[in-house]
Amino acid sequence: MKKDTKLFKMLAFSFVLVLFFASCHNLSSSFAGRGYRQGSLSITSWNIQTFFDTQTSGREYSDFIGTKLWSDAVYVKRLERLCQTMEALSSDLFIFQEIENEAVLVDIVNYLKTQGNPALAYSHAVFIPSRDDVLGCAILSRYPIISCTTHQIDYRFEGKKQPDTRPLMEVLVQAHFSKPLRVYTSHWKSKSGGAEQSEFWRDAQEALIARRIRETGDQLYVFAADCNRDLSEFAQDGQYIVLDTEGQRLKTQSPYLFDAFADEDGTYFFQKEWNKIDHFFIGEALHILSFCIERKGLHVDKDGIPYRFSIWNGQGYADHLPISCIISENCFN
């Protein structure tokens, strides 16, 4: 199932609010000092953990409904912390999972101090809700987003309901490559309720992205997502993840499998173990200049573990670490 999705641009009047909010903390990106190559593009993908606003729709998680712990003041502080991290990373594209709606996306833009600088401003954005309209995915871009489509799995069983699943978002970004960059994002089914019981849905979402890459024939792409599937759970071939769709195998670059980036631990810390469940899959027409898991800054504790958001005290950032990459177009493309 595919549908066109309305894009929205951040308007100039929405930027004025940024002048009135919190002072800047001294954060540093893992990319600090590496430098950017001309013609390159930086991307950060981050599951920002149940980022609801304070307007109750009834679809929020129960912790956020009917409690004085979740207030406008706590929401604003959470926005400020997120934006301070974004300003430190300063990627050209930010890809978010677990964001409630486009209003949150507008609020994020309003709290970014860098919006006053045209060279750093995020003037283009798109948000896609989940199937049941709870938490979706979003993209903020410094470059024009010229189109957006969504693709959804649709399986029906006798007496069995399909769980809430986030669609596959596909956007074309007019950066400085020879043609628009195809950017995909999604948030695959979690393992809640049992890893084996939910595996069918992750397999279906894997097949969906593989099928779409095959259909377009376009190797100038980046897929950035929380796959709820560790690197070890994917088929691998050298520096490639091997995706499966209807019995056909499709190879895609994974920076985790490059020798230069092999020391990266993981993005999600669960039961005292690191898991690499947040991924970039990158087409052959692109060269991976840099990749890192962002573990420097106030969003981690002294051991580099994500400083997860807690509604009980209003503190923290997210339970995942951001991942970032810098890419350029291969000269042979």
In this structure, is residue 321 part of a structural domain? yes
Alpha carbons within 13 angstroms on the beta-carbon side of residue 305 total 10
Number of domains the chain is built from: 1
Residue 30, domain member (yes or no):
no
The amino acid at residue 135 is L
DSSP code string of 217-249: ---SEEEEEE-SS-GGGSEEETTEEEEEETTEE
Other Cβ atoms less than 10 A from the Cβ of 32: the count is: 12
Q: Is residue 29 part of a domain?
A: no
Q: What is the pLDDT along the chain (333 residues), one digit of tens a residue?
A: 554 444 444 332 222 222 222 222 233 344 443 445 568 999 999 999 999 999 888 777 778 888 889 899 999 999 999 999 999 999 999 999 999 999 999 999 999 999 999 999 999 999 998 877 789 999 999 999 999 999 998 876 655 677 777 899 999 999 999 999 999 999 999 987 788 888 999 999 999 999 999 999 999 999 999 999 999 999 999 999 999 877 789 999 999 999 999 888 999 999 999 999 999 999 999 999 999 999 999 999 999 999 999 999 999 999 999 999 999 999 765
Does residue 93 sit within a domain? yes
In-domain check, residue 168: yes
Of the candidates 109, 106, 111, 98, the one whose C-alpha atom is nearest the C-alpha of residue 60 is 98
State the CATH number of the domain containing residue 122.
3.60.10.10
**CA pair distance 316, 80, nearest whole angstrom:** 11
Q: Is 49 left (phi over 0), alpha (psi -120 to 50) or beta?
A: left
Q: Residue 202 is part of which domain span?
A: 2-22+39-329
